[in-house]
């Protein structure tokens, strides 16, 4: 799932070149660009064509949900210009919900709003969630707490309310 180890980039060719048997193009970095400046760099790259119809033939460093062969979205540039922690969060959010909804709904603000916590395991998340919610009284004896099967709490109740992607847990929207 994690793609944030490389900087976001697209391999940019054109449909005309592709139709004529060529994949001539180049990898262009997305960081530091907005949509318009990126498209200008693409047109400059293919200035040998009078009106290049851009084709984004490959991608790396960002979630598949943001990729399209024939267009780039504002959401892609939002992702590309986030810091590494926010990229990781947004990538997990996109993965958790597989955005069958409008991609423009996949924003860092929505991811932060949906974030319920971060934990190594479902059992760890269940325990932390139950403690923070106050559902387990503070005066619960430790001998009784030791008998709680936190994985069973996740499996029987919490898995319906939360979605997991890696170490991130999101409220199920």
CB 46 within 8 A of CB 52: yes
Task: Name the pTM for this structure.
Answer: 0.77
Nearest to 103 by CA among 69, 70, 79: 79
Please indicate, yes or no, if residue 164 is contained in any of the structural domains.
Answer: yes
Residue 111's pLDDT is 93
Please indicate, yes or no, if residue 92 is contained in any of the structural domains.
Answer: no
**Domains contained in the chain, number:** 2
Nearest to 17 by CA among 41, 53, 43: 53
73 and 24 belong to one structural domain? yes
Sheet with 26-29, edge to edge strand ranges: 26-29, 9-14, 54-60
Please indicate, yes or no, if residue 20 is contained in any of the structural domains.
Answer: yes
25 and 69 belong to one structural domain? yes
SS3 assignment, position 56 = strand
Q: Which domain holds residue 126?
A: 115-171
**CA separation for the pair 122, 62 (Å, rounded):** 26
pLDDT per residue as tens, the chain (173 positions): 554 457 899 999 999 999 999 999 999 999 989 999 999 999 999 999 999 999 999 999 988 888 899 999 888 898 898 999 999 999 899 888 875 546 677 889 999 999 999 999 999 999 999 999 999 998 999 999 999 999 999 999 999 999 999 999 999 87
22 Cβ contact list (under 8 Å, min separation 6): 13
Residue 70's pLDDT is 92
Please indicate, yes or no, if residue 131 is contained in any of the structural domains.
Answer: yes
Tell which of 36, 64, 81 closes a domain. 81
Cα 25 to the center of its chain, rounded Å: 26
Q: What is the DSSP string of 139-167?
A: T--HHHHTT--HHHHHHHTGGGTEEEETT
76 and 120 belong to one structural domain? no
């Amino acid at each position: 799932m994690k793609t944030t180890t490389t900087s976001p980039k697209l391999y940019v060719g054109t449909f005309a070149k592709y139709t004529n048997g060529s994949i001539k193009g180049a990898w262009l970095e997305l960081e530091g660009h907005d949509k318009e400046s990126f498209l200008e760099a693409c047109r400059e790259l293919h200035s040998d064509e009078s009106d290049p119809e851009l084709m984004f033939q490959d991608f790396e460093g960002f979630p598949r949900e943001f990729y399209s062969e024939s267009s780039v979205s504002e959401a892609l540039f939002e992702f590309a210009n986030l810091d590494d922690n926010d990229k990781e969060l947004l990538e997990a959010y996109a993965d958790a919900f597989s955005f069958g909804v409008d991609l423009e709904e996949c924003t860092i603000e929505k991811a932060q709003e949906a974030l319920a916590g971060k934990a190594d395991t479902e059992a760890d998340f269940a325990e932390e969630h139950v403690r923070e919610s106050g559902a387990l009284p503070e005066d619960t004896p430790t001998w009784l707490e030791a008998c709680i099967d936190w994985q069973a709490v996740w499996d029987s109740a919490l898995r319906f309310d939360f979605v997991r992607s890696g170490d991130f847990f999101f409220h199920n929207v």
